[in-house]
Chains A and B, each alone.
Chain A
Amino acid sequence: MVNIKINNTDVTVEEGTTILDAAKTKNIKIPTLCYYPDLDIKSDCRICTVEIAGEKGLVTACSTPVREGMEIKTNSPRVLNARKTITELMLANHDANCTACEKNMNCELQTLANTLGIDENRFESVLEMQELDTANTSITRNPNRCIKCGRCVDVCKNVQGINVLESMNRSHEMVISPKYGKYLSDEDCTFCGQCSSVCPVASITEKDETDIVWNALDDDKKHVIVQVAPAVRVSLGEEMGQKPGSIVTEKMVAALKQLGFDRVFDTDFTADLTIIEEGNELIERIKTGGKLPMMTSCCPGWISLVEQKYPDLIDNISSCKSPQQMFGALAKTYYAKKQNIDPKDLFVVSIMPCTAKKYEAAREEMSVDGKNQDVDAVLTTRELGKMVRQMGINFDQLDKVEFDDPFGITSGAGAIFGATGGVMEAALRTVSEVVNEKPLEKLDFETVRGLEGIKEAEVDLGGQKVKVAVAHSLSKAKTLADQVKDGTSPYAFIEVMTCPGGCIGGGGQPYNTTNAVREERIRATYQVDSDMKIRKSHENPVINKLYDDYLKKPLSDLSHDLLHTHYRKRNA
């Protein structure tokens, strides 16, 4: 243990602890900017600078380990002046038109300037306005707001292993930009949006579609329906000021009703449908000697990675569309017909924890009539939060409202799609019961849950031991994909989610997502599951009715037309 003094308070911490972490143990707040929990220590911004007695220079609290007897001042006039100066330097090269910014009142730079009490900038503006990157359907980059903290580069390179963002050039001409091209769409970007999630300012954001949705809601001729992904109900609360892990399903439905949606449906329903289709696809592949391991297809970032970097693995990917796109296809066919609505008057909106879902909805395959997209607009959890605030809804005071029929009756299996390992667990609940023809003794497959990067399980399918694996974050996905490519994969079925923690940690989720927050959202997700009456997809009565009335049977011709798709090699 090491004994130090911070602002004259005695602190005892383990050797190797940074000054920043040591200060946290005594609730001493040292402001940070490039620092982000769970990411690498960069110490580039120099904001967390502190003074150590006897040392001439200042040191950064995030990167400096404590030493015995160290006396630290976190708030001396010298420190404060340094922090102010550094912040002013950033502001002098930043588009500080705050009221025209998505992150106004939610911006780390603004908060910093405010707490430091910066009332004027001593330095003249050196900002040279650059062109925005709006060339893709998911993510907008505004280089004029970038403060070069490097969080996005770190998450793209080290967490996702994708490495499309890089610090280019030097001195004040340094920019963080796509590595080889001008736009993100010039690169092998999967549009996972993790960069937007960690950006302290609004330099990288989701492509805003709220105006499109407001216009559709205002159009009397349009029947506007909405589907909400499993992960949104355990995270929207944070947008509304609640604690991480708050479950807000019914209030969320109520809010969507107030926003004016004609029907509010649950993507959990098509998650159940995915399990039936995908589960049967897996059983068929195992029985008929089809391509194994089968790999999940729910996640568009993962699909992009395979199409760009692992085209040899395309046949390993389940042909099932994602729950979002199964919903879109059913809405524009089955639902439109049932409601007697011309599909072109039907406007389908999704609320997703994800930026890549915007890209997925815009893929040319995702159109049952070949003319209009099945899903017309995709909003992130953050964009839904924005609309609720724009509408002036008092979220906490809302009455509880249930999802609408018919796509509102769902199972716990669909609900856990939001957490890493959830698709695997949901599939195992159904596949093992179908194959083994007897009910499971225990529904919880705990070995595939949690934040461990790669998780494994072994299941008994009709006397055959089958190994399965789950990966989340693309760097971990690449580990499993490389095994498949090399022919060394011991697994029959692999679930992959692009984002750390799965969809609950998606790139479109509320800001300040850390592993601690992910844990809370995961806990809430399994709470939703265990509270459900139905917990297996094949026991969802509405799914069974859908097959009886319309699709006939899993993997039927109509199922293939509506619920399955194909992939192809793509180059940026």
Chain B
Amino acid sequence: MEQKIVSKRFDAINPLSIDDYLESGGYKSLKEALKRDRINIIEEIEAARLRGRGGAAFPAHVKMMGIAKEEETTRYIICNADEGEPGNFKDRQLMEKDPHQFIEGMVITAFAIRATKGYIYIRGEYDKAYSILEWTLEEARKKGYLGKNILDSGFDFDIELRSGAGSYVCGEEFALIESIEGKPGRTRVKPPFPTQKGLFDKPTLINNVETFANIPHILEMGGDEFAKIGTESSTGTKLVSLSGNVNNPGVYEVPFGVPIKEVVEKLGGGSKDGRKIKMVQLGGACGPIIPEYMLDLTIDFDRFEDFDSKTGAGAIIVMDERFDVFDVLLRVAEFFEHESCGKCTPCREGNLQLVKLVEKFINRKATQKDLINIESLARVMHQTSLCGLGQTAPTAILSTLKYFRDDYLDLIEHPEL
């Protein structure tokens, strides 16, 4: 069931050895790409129908083509390695176990869109990955894969490593850009989009680590071949971060279209101690919570969107029957109440009110009116917040209102004796 493409070198090579990477076919795509027409590279990505792996699932070639058409010649490329979404740890493995792979993808992309400088914005807590990347970038420079006149092609491009400082919202593209600029991590109004006016107001392409990691493989196998993997709407494979009450938590690479249930049971070895699975949270704290009976759902960007969830970053958090829906909701609500940047009203004020309302249910003080209020507030936050944080913060609540409504009603109808 696993199909290893971006994880094929995991534990098979020494990640600190560029020779290991080269021996296993690394930087071959870059060498070929440097001989190709730039637009032709983007067309290859288009044929692959590669969609962003960070959660928003935006078609990768659209962003690339957008920048390629800008008049401004100073262009930036950023790898979003601020993997702060709870339950996600696949980018960490990409960086720790095969660091040259996504860097190769960045250089190819940079060449295609004529980017002048690259940044990797890495999560503040990822110390080990940071050290590995520092080493890896230096190795790549020494061997001529980064820096001036890459592989005698005349193309200059280098990458700067930047560390976050622990803020969740800095994984949001504009908050990340502000952070690199030295400002507080808060999003900006769109439009203009980053591809038009991004870092230092220059056209900027931001992709997730996994998105870049796919690029060398697409060029190697060809876009059409790549598009045969997965499903019609979601091509290729997905790295899944499986965690919670399963026997074998970890990162698994599966083609799109695999049911969640199979990942949990076959790769994850089923629930621990054979307890009944109660629910699964998809994507991370910002994702929907679905009941066990829905685990036939397949991993697919469009299927995830049915839950008003933009996040298909690939986390599966399994919770067995010992877990209480409201304990989880409170934890999620408090997380967002802490992480909101404070810029827009619905998110700044709404998350605190969601915490209060969830507490009201937990304390059995909630009324029918509170049920209406929490649903209305969650909807408004989802529809009106300025960035993805506020828009997805209420996802867990909205999904449980749908699939665990009885849990809410129980708390209203049976006030504590």
Contacts and interface: CB of A to CB of B under 8 A. Distances in A.
27 contacts: A41-B189, A43-B386, A44-B344, A45-B345, A46-B385, A49-B384, A56-B308, A57-B383, A57-B384, A58-B383, A58-B384, A63-B189, A63-B191, A64-B191, A81-B380, A82-B384, A85-B380, A89-B346, A89-B349, A90-B349, A92-B349, A123-B349, A167-B186, A171-B337, A171-B348, A172-B348, A172-B352
Interface in A331-364: none
Contacts of A57: 382-384, 391
Nearest to A85: B380
B129 interface: no
Nearest to B360: A124
A172 B342 contact: yes
A170 interface: yes
Interface string B51-85: 00000000000000000000000000000000000
Given A93-B349, A167-B342, A171-B348, 17 more contacts: A42-B189, A44-B343, A46-B386, A49-B383, A60-B189, A64-B191, A81-B376, A85-B380, A86-B380, A89-B345, A92-B349, A124-B356, A167-B343, A171-B340, A171-B341, A172-B337, A172-B351
B377 interface: yes
Contact of B352 (A41, A47, A126, A148): A126
Contacts of A49: 383-384
Contacts of A45: 344-345
A1 interface: no
Contacts of B341: 170-171, 174
A44 B380 CA distance: 15
Contacts of B314: none
B241 to A, nearest CB: 26
Interface residues of B, number: 36
Interface of B: 167, 169, 184, 186, 189-191, 308, 337-346, 348-353, 356, 369, 373, 376-377, 380, 382-386, 391
A93 B347 CA distance: 13
B342 A169 contact: yes
B382 A86 contact: no
A89 B352 CA distance: 10
A31 interface: no
A122 B373 contact: yes
Given A82-B380, A86-B346, A90-B349, A171 B356 contact: no
B300 to A, nearest CB: 18
A170 B342 contact: yes
A65 interface: yes
A131 interface: no
Contacts of A44: 189, 343-345, 386
A85 B338 CA distance: 21
Contacts of B391: 57
Contacts of B353: 89, 92, 123-124, 126
Interface in A491-529: none
A173 interface: yes
Contact of B356 (A126, A167, A173): A126
Given A46-B346, A122-B373, A124-B356, A171 B383 contact: no
Interface of A: 41-47, 49, 56-58, 60, 63-65, 78, 81-82, 85-86, 89-90, 92-93, 122-124, 126, 147-148, 167, 169-174
B342 A148 contact: yes
A90 B339 CA distance: 19
B384 A86 contact: yes
B191 to A, nearest CB: 7
For the complex of A and B, list the 8 residue pairs with the smallest distance between their C-beta atoms, beginning with the closest: A174-B342, A89-B349, A171-B340, A85-B380, A170-B342, A43-B189, A172-B352, A46-B384
B186 A56 contact: no
Contacts of B377: 85, 122-123
Contacts of B369: 122
A201 B383 CA distance: 26
Nearest to B342: A174
A60 B390 CA distance: 15
B324 to A, nearest CB: 24
Contacts of B343: 44, 167, 174
B306 to A, nearest CB: 11
Contacts of B169: 170
Given A45-B344, A169-B342, A85 B352 contact: no
A170 B185 CA distance: 9
A171 B342 CA distance: 4
Contacts of A147: 345
A14 B163 CA distance: 43
Contacts of B190: 63
A167 B184 contact: yes
A172 B189 contact: no
A93 B351 CA distance: 13
A553 B388 CA distance: 70
A449 to B, nearest CB: 33
Nearest to B185: A170
B7 to A, nearest CB: 34
Contacts of A167: 184, 186, 342-343
A89 B350 contact: yes
Given A85-B377, A93-B349, A46 B337 contact: no
B345 A148 contact: yes
Nearest to B373: A122
Contacts of A171: 337-342, 348, 351-352
A172 B333 CA distance: 13
Contacts of B384: 46, 49, 57-58, 60, 82, 86
A122 B373 CA distance: 7
Contacts of B345: 44-47, 86, 89-90, 147-148
A209 B277 CA distance: 68
A44 B345 CA distance: 7
B386 to A, nearest CB: 7
- B339, B346, B380 interface centre (most CB from chain A within 10 Å): B380
Contacts of B385: 46
A321 B377 CA distance: 57
B333 to A, nearest CB: 12
A445 B180 CA distance: 48
A30 to B, nearest CB: 14
A173 B352 CA distance: 10
Contacts of B356: 123-124, 126
A82 B391 CA distance: 13
A64 B308 CA distance: 22
B197 to A, nearest CB: 13
B131 to A, nearest CB: 29
Nearest to B351: A171
Nearest to B305: A56
A416 to B, nearest CB: 39
A171 B169 CA distance: 11
Contacts of B184: 167, 170
Contacts of B338: 171
Contacts of B339: 170-171
A151 B339 CA distance: 23
Contacts of A46: 344-346, 384-386
A64 B384 CA distance: 13
A41 B349 CA distance: 21
A170 B168 CA distance: 12
Contacts of A89: 345-346, 349-350, 353
A201 to B, nearest CB: 14
A85 B376 contact: yes
A120 to B, nearest CB: 11
A202 to B, nearest CB: 19
B82 to A, nearest CB: 16
Contacts of B348: 148, 171-172, 174
Contacts of A123: 349, 353, 356, 373, 377
Nearest to A174: B342
Nearest to A147: B345
Q: Which of A65, A124, A126, A174 has the most CB of B within 10 A?
A: A174
Q: Which of A57, A92, A93, A170 has the most CB of B within 10 A?
A: A170
